[in-house]
């Protein structure tokens, strides 16, 4: 009876598809790795490394002596973070050093007795957004998450990496350091490193960083229904980066997926379907009915349930007195229309044409 | 189910083996091919890995008062007693390229989160996250008891008792009649259920960089959603009221149905593997993503507490008698109801991307993604009600046993959708001029078969609905509708002056749809934005000199700001968008200029269906003057003004106003306008010692209005030639009404964190914050014309009460350093929540008097949110090492 539903062939079909794709990737990877390691390529890379990376002596010179004279705390804690470690343990172009990121360090050293306002515009103390970003993208353009940074919304708004990140946390270190007056400096630096925000953020959390500029979304923290709900320790479960890619995202609103619905399906895969009876506006855009950050209505709806449905449905059936009738009828209370049409996102039931089951 | 599980396991096994192969081969290849070892392969001389961490533990008291307090813990767990709320461990050393970080938050609570990050700098990174999100809906009370996964039953004795006192549906259920009295009596002893869900998520991600130019990653995430949530099924019955106009039209529409628990046991497993290769001027990558959604409970069956025997709904009179005298009675008369729960589905996505830096300032990039979604769960039968005889409702119906899946025209959908996304962009960034052009396309290609059904069980599973009886002979079929959305946009950003930047964008959005009201939309939008930035500091002449000498590309980044520099920023942003629907498809209703029964001093026109009307297949059966807001023509105005004052690096004040207005054609029905405005103000100040103060205020207003119409049932008294067959029938313009919703949200928040660095309070830290969120929704309805006498009650314009929701949040925290590494502290948290919403104020089953009408036979569980006050006091010890 269920012969035509036998899934066995599909298992193999699915497995074959997966195997084919992974095999293709495997081949591509192997070829690439092989290509990367052929003598000529290795030479190219090494050559490039020589061009961009400073020599060891230069690093030591810059990190260990000149900068430390004024930026003691920064230099002390630097070896513990990713950038500092790259300086010590990597020899390719990713090896960070003061002068790799802070161009014109020599000029800065010459004018170091002057105030920041007196610095030349291209000094390390006064970098432009583009200069900052170019320095960071030297390495981070290789991260797939940064693929669409250039020309993305943040880039177009002239934001720099330092708008959200604090690479050395110099200001915060200055505050914390007074807590540990007599401790050995090396121990102090390690202790400090455990108290700095993660991801080198300039604020304590991702959300605080984002909401600092996106003030409009802050209201969602306390709205009746919200994705920005927090625990009693103010930890956000669904954070800004759960849905947005702050480093790019060509789709509108810097989404982490290509479309709104694709993004929603990552957590709400049960609504992906396909369904026998689809609800086209639902399929086209979840935001037709939902306000994703927060709403004054339940379920993140843009309007009270029956007011929302009525914007598109003048009752194929005249019995639905959700209209200007009595205020507290079945079509207005609780889930409103969804008291009966509970499968508003789609139904796979043969009798679910009106999305009731 | 077994097939699905086996299938999942097979795929899992295959994927895991293959992924392992990928990683192994890459590792193997890297070494076998003799990659020159990096300097970092050499062991550091000292390997003194240090361990640092923080642990915070303590005890908590919680007191929550209110009728329905579940909202307080809607998406969090605030337990009483001992807790470990924060655990941070860092294994890190400057002498080692390795680092390990472990994080634990609210450990052993329902909202715990545990994370691990292991990294070898520049080589690989392993991330693991375990996260739990609870969702509480409240406590419900029901006769239904779960006896098996997806099966909820009611005692047969109780069902027999209730059926025995159920009255015929011809009259409205008396408030204190035998049935409501018995229901209320039995409910007193019905068990309570805590209705809640928990979403558990595990994520593992491995990133590997065989060289600086190659990044390979593999990710597995697993999401489990388990528990129950309220769901319902229902219908309505028609109660004739003497003097209410036509016997079958006037009167009440009494809700009848059942709220139950939807069992949730769902898994979503996602595998992702990808790689990016980078050159000096190019990047290219590919990713494969497999996402499998599995629902362990495929359907839900619940028993009707009011029935022990199946019954068919009251049959309409056979022709030539008027068909409407009985058809809306005796509904919801099944013993068992079966709901379909979300079907299993698969998604395969493969994505390619590449970018090329044509010049140092110009980048071209492309992204192509092909997704394939499928679903093929077996269909459930039309109904479990054995009493339904389709031929009673549709004399020529071929269906003899609607409970038999073999009579379905297909046994499953075999649904397929192809989703193609493409993005191509050209970006140019010179010093003072930036340009971008972009094309995006989303094509949802629905390849599911169209299946024609001969009918289906409707009206509370008690009658049969067929194309001939209710849909004007339009086939009951699923439509393989799909769409393509394309965006072509271009824009530039020009630093006209050192203090002024002009940004302009143009976007052309095209929608092509199949089987919807509008087959094609064009929207053109133009955006202009001006950014002013003035330096108000005393050194402005010098700053300006520096800036102008190096062009505006040297404008300082919006990050750390120099001390003693006061900056003023203005932003003006305006977007105008015009969307047009080329054609709005409607059903061919007939215009009547002098509709019988029209009120004397109102419009006499109407749109009706006649016996000559031939409905169009593929178009929604709706009133022909309705325009749906997501498709119809629209004009959008979106403007904002932002003011920002930055004084040095410590003080910041900003204020903004934002208006977003959507205007629709006022000559039609549906949404007429939707306007929102936002006012935001924010002040922050950081003190010298690291303390800071912040205050924010925002006001959001939303105002929308739509036009609707209370139409009439098929009029049995209509003369020949004006006969209507189905339920969409007569739309008298006199019954037009308009409704507005004016929604306002005030949000206010301020806080101060004080951390003195010296003096007798040196070891103390104080933190205080207060937040208020107050929302009010006012709904008004106006019927500008006299209502026809033969209208149903809802043609009138009755007001709704305002909805008010207020939440406050008060937090006080004090901590003191006892000795190095030890801190002791306390927190007090007060959260009053007030909710007055007519939709939720009274949901107790079978409680009359509080509701004006019409819900007496809808058996709610009363699991809902209400007002509460909650106090939480915490003492904690924080140990850092």
Is the Cβ pair B669, A357 closer than 8 Å? Answer: no
- Judging contacts by C-beta atoms under 8 Å, the chain B residues touching residue A84 are 94
Is the Cβ pair B745, A315 closer than 8 Å? Answer: no
DSSP notation for B747-795:
EEEEEEEE---SSTTTTEEEEEEEEEEEEEEEEEEE--SPPPTTS-GGG
Ranges of H-type helices in B78-177: 156-165
Ranges of H-type helices in B285-417: 390-393
Residue of chain B with shortest Cα separation from A271: B342
- The answer to whether residue A40 scores a pLDDT higher than 50 is no
Q: Which of B197, B743, B738 is nearest to A301 (CA)?
A: B743
Is the Cβ pair B483, A284 closer than 8 Å? Answer: yes
User: B665 φ, ψ to 5°?
Assistant: -65, 120
- Judging contacts by C-beta atoms under 8 Å, the chain A residues touching residue B30 are 33, 37
- Judging contacts by C-beta atoms under 8 Å, the chain B residues touching residue A108 are none
- The answer to whether residue A29 scores a pLDDT higher than 60 is no
Structure tokens at B337: 């109801």
Q: Tell me what pLDDT residue B355 has.
A: 95
Is the Cβ pair A11, B745 closer than 8 Å? Answer: no
Q: A38-47, A138-147, B254-263, B683-692: lowest mean pLDDT where?
A: A38-47
Q: What span, in angstroms and rounded, lies between the C-alpha atoms of B509 and B487? A: 4
Q: Tell me what pLDDT residue B416 has.
A: 96
Q: Is B42 on the interface with A (CB under 8 A)?
A: no
Q: Is B195 on the interface with A (CB under 8 A)?
A: no
How far is A292 from chain B, CA to nearest CA, in Å?
Answer: 16
- Judging contacts by C-beta atoms under 8 Å, the chain A residues touching residue B680 are 215-216, 218
Q: Which residue has the higher pLDDT, A9 or B870?
A: B870
How far is B121 from chain A, CA to nearest CA, in Å?
Answer: 6
Q: Tell me what pLDDT residue B170 has.
A: 65
Is the Cβ pair B76, A163 closer than 8 Å? Answer: no
Q: pLDDT averaged over consecutive 10-residue blocks of chain B (881 residues)?
A: 53 53 44 39 46 90 93 94 89 87 93 95 95 95 92 95 81 73 88 94 96 94 96 79 43 77 96 94 95 96 94 75 64 93 97 94 94 96 95 90 96 96 92 91 96 93 86 88 95 92 96 94 97 77 41 42 78 97 91 84 86 83 92 97 90 95 96 97 88 94 92 58 57 87 96 87 92 95 75 60 95 92 93 93 63 64 93 94 81
Is the Cβ pair A272, B92 closer than 8 Å? Answer: no
Is the Cβ pair B232, A22 closer than 8 Å? Answer: no
Instruction: Tell me the mean pLDDT in the region A339-352.
Output: 94
Give the relative orientation of helices B178-187 and B156-165 as an angle to the nearest 10 degrees. Answer: 150
Is the Cβ pair A339, B257 closer than 8 Å? Answer: yes
Is the Cβ pair B6, A129 closer than 8 Å? Answer: no
What ipTM, to 2 d.p.?
Answer: 0.89
- Judging contacts by C-beta atoms under 8 Å, the chain B residues touching residue A285 are 630
How far is B15 from chain A, CA to nearest CA, in Å?
Answer: 7
CA angle B82, B88, B91 (to 5 degrees): 145
Whether the CB-CB separation of B621 and B609 falls below 8 Å is answered with no
Residue length of chain B = 881
Q: Tell me what pLDDT residue A99 has.
A: 78
- Going by the DSSP 8-state scheme, the letter that residue A274 receives in this structure is -
Q: Tell me what pLDDT residue B851 has.
A: 41
Among B350, B793, B835, select the one facing A325 at the smallest CB separation.
Answer: B793
Is the Cβ pair B94, A79 closer than 8 Å? Answer: yes
Is the Cβ pair B75, A237 closer than 8 Å? Answer: yes
Q: What percent of chain A has pLDDT over 70?
A: 64
Residue of chain A with shortest Cα separation from B21: A26
Contacting B residues, span 201-220, partner chain A, CB-CB under 8 Å? 210-217
Q: Tell me what pLDDT residue B501 has.
A: 94
Mean pLDDT, chain A, rounded, equals 75
Cis peptide before B320 (omega within 30 of 0): yes
Residue length of chain A = 357
Condensed to tens digits (0 to 9), the pLDDT of residues A73-113 reads 777 778 878 888 888 898 888 888 787 888 767 767 766 55
Among A4, A144, A324, select the one facing B783 at the smallest CB separation.
Answer: A324
Is the Cβ pair A330, B255 closer than 8 Å? Answer: yes
User: Best of A274, A286, A352 to disrupt the B interface by mutation (most B CBs within 10 Å)?
Assistant: A274
- Judging contacts by C-beta atoms under 8 Å, the chain A residues touching residue B842 are 328, 333
Report the Cα B677 to chain-centroid distance in Å: 22
Is the Cβ pair A317, B727 closer than 8 Å? Answer: yes
- Judging contacts by C-beta atoms under 8 Å, the chain B residues touching residue A151 are 363, 425, 427, 429, 434, 436, 438
Confidence of residue A16 (pLDDT cuts 50, 70, 90): low
Q: What span, in angstroms and rounded, lies between the C-alpha atoms of A229 and A73? A: 37
What is the pTM assigned to this prediction?
0.87
User: Best of A224, A254, A261 to disrupt the B interface by mutation (most B CBs within 10 Å)?
Assistant: A224
- The answer to whether residue A241 scores a pLDDT higher than 60 is yes
Is the Cβ pair A335, B412 closer than 8 Å? Answer: no
Q: Is B696 on the interface with A (CB under 8 A)?
A: yes
- Going by the DSSP 8-state scheme, the letter that residue B229 receives in this structure is E
- Judging contacts by C-beta atoms under 8 Å, the chain A residues touching residue B585 are none
How far is A96 from chain B, CA to nearest CA, in Å?
Answer: 11
Name the helix (H) or strand (E) containing B8.
helix B2-32
Residue of chain A with shortest Cα separation from B300: A357
Is the Cβ pair A30, B29 closer than 8 Å? Answer: yes
CA angle B332, B338, B341 (to 5 degrees): 130
| Strand ranges (E), B296-381 | 299-303, 336-340, 345-359, 362-375
Q: Calculate the dihedral angle through the C-alpha atoms of A341, A345, A346, A351, rounding to the nearest 10 degrees.
A: -10
């Amino acid at each position: 009876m269920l012969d035509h539903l036998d899934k066995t062939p599909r298992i193999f079909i699915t497995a074959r598809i997966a195997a084919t794709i992974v095999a293709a990737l495997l081949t591509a990877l192997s070829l690439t790795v092989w290509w990367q390691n052929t003598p000529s390529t290795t030479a190219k890379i090494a050559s490039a490394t020589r061009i961009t990376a400073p020599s060891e002596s230069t690093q030591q010179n810059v990190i260990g002596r000149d900068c430390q004279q004024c930026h003691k705390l920064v230099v002390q804690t630097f070896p513990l973070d990713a950038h500092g470690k790259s300086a010590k343990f990597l020899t390719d172009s990713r090896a960070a050093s003061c002068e790799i990121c802070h161009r014109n360090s020599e000029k800065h050293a010459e004018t170091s007795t002057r105030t920041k306002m007196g610095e030349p515009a291209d000094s390390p103390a006064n970098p432009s957004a583009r200069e900052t970003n170019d320095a960071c993208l030297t390495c981070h353009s290789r991260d797939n998450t940064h693929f669409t940074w250039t020309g993305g919304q943040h880039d177009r708004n002239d934001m720099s990496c330092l708008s959200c990140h604090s690479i050395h946390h110099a200001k915060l270190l200055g505050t914390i350091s007074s807590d540990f007056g007599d401790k050995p400096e090396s121990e102090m630096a390690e202790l400090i490193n455990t108290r700095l925000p993660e991801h080198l953020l300039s604020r304590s959390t991702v959300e605080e960083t984002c909401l600092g500029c996106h003030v409009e979304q802050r209201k969602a923290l306390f709205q009746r229904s919200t994705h920005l709900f927090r625990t009693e320790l103010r930890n956000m479960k669904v954070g800004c980066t759960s849905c947005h890619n702050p480093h790019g995202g060509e789709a509108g609103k810097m989404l982490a997926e290509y479309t709104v619905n694709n993004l929603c399906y990552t957590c709400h895969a049960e609504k992906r379907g396909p369904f026998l009876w689809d609800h086209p506006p639902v399929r086209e855009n979840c935001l037709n009915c939902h306000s994703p950050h927060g709403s004054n209505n339940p379920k993140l709806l843009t309007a009270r349930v029956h007011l929302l449905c009525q914007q598109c449905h003048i009752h194929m059936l005249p019995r639905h007195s959700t209209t200007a009738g009595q205020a507290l009828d079945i079509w207005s209370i609780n889930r409103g229309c969804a008291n009966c049409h509970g499968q508003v996102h789609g139904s796979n039931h043969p009798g679910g044409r009106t999305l009731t089951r | 189910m077994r097939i699905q599980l086996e299938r999942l396991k097979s795929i899992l096994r295959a994927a895991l083996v293959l992924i392992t192969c990928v990683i192994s081969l890459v590792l193997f290849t890297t070494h076998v091919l003799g990659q020159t070892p990096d300097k970092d392969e050499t062991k550091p001389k000292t390997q003194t890995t240090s361990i640092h961490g923080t642990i915070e533990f303590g005890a908590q008291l919680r007191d929550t008062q209110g009728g329905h307090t579940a909202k307080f813990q809607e998406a969090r767990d605030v337990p009483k007693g001992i807790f470990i709320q924060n655990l941070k461990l860092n294994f890190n050393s400057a002498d080692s390229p390795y680092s390990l970080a472990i994080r634990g938050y609210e450990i052993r609570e329902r909202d715990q989160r545990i994370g691990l990050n292991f990294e070898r700098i520049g080589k690989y990174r392993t991330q693991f996250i375990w996260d739990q999100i609870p969702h509480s809906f409240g406590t419900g009370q029901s006769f239904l008891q779960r006896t098996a996964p997806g099966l909820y039953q009611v005692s047969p004795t109780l069902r027999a008792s209730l059926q025995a006192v159920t009255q015929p549906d011809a009259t409205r259920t008396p408030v204190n009649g035998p049935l409501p009295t018995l229901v209320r009596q039995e409910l007193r002893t019905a068990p309570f259920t805590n209705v809640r869900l928990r979403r558990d998520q595990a994520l593992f991600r491995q990133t590997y960089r065989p060289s600086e130019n190659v990044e390979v990653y593999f990710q597995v995430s697993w999401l489990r959603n388990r528990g129950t949530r309220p769901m319902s099924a229902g219908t309505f019955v028609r109660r004739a009221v003497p003097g209410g106009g036509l016997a079958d039209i006037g009167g009440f529409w009494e809700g009848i149905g059942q709220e139950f628990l939807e069992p949730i046991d769902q898994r979503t497993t996602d595998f992702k593997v990808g790689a990016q290769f980078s050159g000096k001027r190019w990047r290219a990558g590919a990713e494969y993503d497999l996402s499998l959604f599995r629902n362990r409970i495929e359907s839900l069956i619940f028993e009707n507490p009011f029935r022990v025997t199946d019954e068919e709904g009251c049959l309409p009179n056979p022709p030539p008698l008027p068909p409407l005298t009985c058809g809306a009675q005796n509904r919801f008369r099944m013993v068992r109801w079966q709901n379909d729960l979300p079907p299993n589905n698969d998604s395969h996505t493969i994505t390619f991307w590449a970018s090329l830096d044509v010049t140092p300032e110009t980048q071209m990039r492309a992204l192509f993604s092909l997704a394939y979604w499928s679903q093929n769960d077996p269909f459930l039968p039309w109904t479990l009600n054995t009493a339904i005889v389709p031929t009673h409702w549709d004399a020529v119906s071929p269906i003899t046993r609607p409970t038999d899946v073999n009579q379905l025209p297909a046994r499953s959908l075999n649904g397929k959708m192809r989703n193609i996304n493409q993005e191509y962009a050209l970006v140019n960034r010179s010093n003072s001029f930036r340009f971008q052009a972009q094309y995006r396309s989303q094509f949802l290609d629905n390849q599911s078969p169209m299946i024609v059904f001969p009918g289906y069980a409707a009206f509370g599973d008690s009658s049969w609905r067929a194309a001939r009886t209710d849909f004007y002979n339009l086939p009951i079929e699923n439509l393989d509708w799909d769409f393509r959305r394309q965006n072509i946009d271009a824009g530039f950003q020009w630093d006209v002056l050192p203090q002024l930047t002009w940004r302009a964008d143009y976007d052309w959005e095209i929608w092509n749809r199949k089987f919807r009201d509008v087959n094609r939309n064009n929207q053109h939008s133009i955006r202009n934005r001006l950014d002013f930035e003035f330096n108000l500091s005393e050194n402005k002449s010098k700053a300006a000199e520096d800036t102008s000498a190096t062009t505006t590309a040297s404008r300082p980044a919006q990050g750390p700001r120099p001390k003693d520099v006061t900056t003023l920023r203005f932003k003006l942003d305006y977007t105008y968008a015009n969307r047009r629907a080329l054609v709005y498809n409607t059903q061919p209703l007939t215009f009547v200029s002098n509709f019988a029964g029209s009120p004397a001093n109102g419009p006499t026109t109407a749109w009706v269906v006649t016996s000559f009307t031939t409905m169009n297949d593929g178009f929604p059966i709706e009133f022909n003057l309705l325009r749906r807001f997501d498709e119809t023509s629209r004009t959008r105005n979106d403007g904002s003004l932002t003011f920002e004052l930055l004084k040095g690096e410590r003080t910041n004040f900003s204020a903004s106003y934002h208006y977003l207005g959507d205007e629709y054609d006022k000559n039609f029905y549906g949404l007429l306008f939707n306007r929102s405005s936002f006012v935001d103000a924010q002040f922050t100040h950081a003190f010298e010692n690291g303390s800071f103060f912040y205050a924010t205020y925002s006001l959001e207003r939303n105002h929308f209005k739509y036009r609707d119409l209370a139409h009439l049932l098929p009029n049995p008294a209509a003369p020949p030639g004006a006969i209507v067959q189905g339920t969409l029938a007569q739309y008298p313009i006199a019954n037009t009404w308009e409704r507005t919703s004016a929604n306002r949200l005030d949000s206010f928040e301020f806080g101060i964190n004080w951390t003195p660095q010296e003096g007798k309070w040196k070891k103390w830290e104080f933190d205080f914050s207060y937040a208020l969120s107050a929302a009010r929704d006012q709904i008004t309805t106006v019927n500008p014309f006299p209502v026809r006498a033969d209208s149903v009650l809802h043609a009138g314009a009755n007001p709704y009460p305002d909805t008010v929701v207020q939440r406050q949040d008060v937090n006080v925290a004090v901590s003191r350093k006892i000795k190095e590494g030890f801190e002791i502290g306390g927190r007090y948290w007060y959260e009053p929540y007030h909710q007055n919403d007519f939709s939720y104020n009274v949901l107790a089953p079978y409680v009359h008097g509080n509701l004006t009408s019409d819900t007496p036979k809808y058996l709610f569980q009363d699991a809902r949110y209400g007002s509460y006050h909650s106090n939480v006091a915490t003492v904690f010890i924080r140990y850092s090492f």
